[in-house]
Amino acid sequence: MKSKLLISTVAVLLLASIPVANANANAKYTHKRVQARAPTTSVDSPEVRYRNDPYAVWVAGTYVGRDPDPRVRDSLIREFYHNLDNR
């Protein structure tokens, strides 16, 4: 009888010493977090192909075209803004 009392007392003390904080922490975060991925660029995209090209024309982060002649590059920029205004 004394051994059963001793075993049950030890069991109750052990169960009482388990922290309840873990159960509350798990209950707080029931929603899954959505992991946002960085946009990936394909191998054929202009960002990859003309990254360091001095003849590539970029306007406001948009690839417009490519030409070695500076007058043609200026024309590409003017045409981009003209088409942008006529939407």
- At 18, is the secondary structure helix, strand, or coil? coil
pLDDT per residue as tens digits for the range 63-74: 899 999 999 999
Residues 6+ apart with CB under 8 A from 67: 55, 57, 73, 76
76 alpha carbon, distance to own chain's centre: 33
> Is residue 35 over pLDDT 60?
yes
Residues β-bridged to residue 59: 62
pLDDT per residue as tens digits for the range 2-24: 777 778 787 777 766 666 555 55
> Could you tell me which of 59, 60, 62, 68 has the C-alpha nearest to residue 45?
62
